[in-house]
């Protein structure tokens, strides 16, 4: 007869419950990588977060102006604000993932930078003060892309050639 069969039911149940708690506790904690986060990965996470916060601030501004201002079409203004707020989620999630060294985060971060390049081009061609904003956005996007494809950053994210 095994030890499980000989133990009373109440004792077996508490042991199983204790095991579930410890397993759940282990899953909720993510192991911290032993080596430090590369500076390029930290900078890429910071720049991606900056883009996300900028989009978030722009979305909030558009939302407030849609309600408080005098737009030609309030529905259009509010829909634009909601769209910009929704777009802010991608770089913010990617930045958090990069900071935590999650492998999945590189793709959304790169998509954010690629999407920023046509926006930067449009701003730079608009003239006036928007030229500086377009150039700044282009520089940030290109710099972040370079940092994300850097071998040090890809290795820290667990991306790289597979060993056979």
Contact 136, 94 (CB under 8 A): no
What residues contact 110, with CB distance under 8 A and at least 6 apart? Answer: 145, 148
pLDDT digits (tens, 9 = 90+) for 65-102: 888 888 888 889 899 999 999 999 999 999 999 999 99
Buried b (16+ CB within 10 A) or exposed e, 110-129: bebbeebeeebeebbeeeee
Per-residue confidence (pLDDT) for residue 17, from 0 to 100? 45
- Average pLDDT value for residue range 110-119: 95
In this prediction the pTM is: 0.74
pLDDT digits (tens, 9 = 90+) for 5-14: 555 554 444 4
Could you give the CA distance from residue 57 to residue 80 in angstroms, rounded to a whole number?
13
Could you give the CA distance from residue 74 to residue 78 in angstroms, rounded to a whole number?
6
Q: How confident is the model at residue 139 (pLDDT cuts 50, 70, 90)?
A: very high
């Amino acid at each position: 007869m095994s030890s499980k069969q000989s133990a009373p039911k109440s004792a077996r149940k508490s042991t199983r419950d204790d095991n579930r708690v410890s397993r759940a506790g282990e899953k909720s904690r993510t192991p911290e990588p032993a080596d430090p986060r590369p500076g390029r990965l930290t900078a890429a996470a910071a720049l991606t977060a900056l883009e996300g916060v900028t989009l978030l601030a722009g979305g909030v501004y558009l939302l407030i102006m849609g309600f408080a201002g005098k737009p030609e079409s309030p529905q259009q203004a509010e829909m634009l604000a909601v769209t910009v707020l929704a777009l802010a989620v991608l770089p913010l999630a990617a930045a958090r993932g990069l900071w935590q060294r999650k492998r999945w985060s590189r793709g959304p971060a790169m998509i954010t930078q690629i999407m920023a390049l046509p926006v930067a081009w449009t701003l730079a061609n608009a003239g006036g003060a928007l030229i500086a904003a377009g150039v700044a956005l282009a520089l940030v996007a290109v710099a972040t892309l370079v940092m994300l494809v850097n071998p040090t950053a890809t290795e820290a994210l667990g991306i790289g050639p597979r060993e056979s």
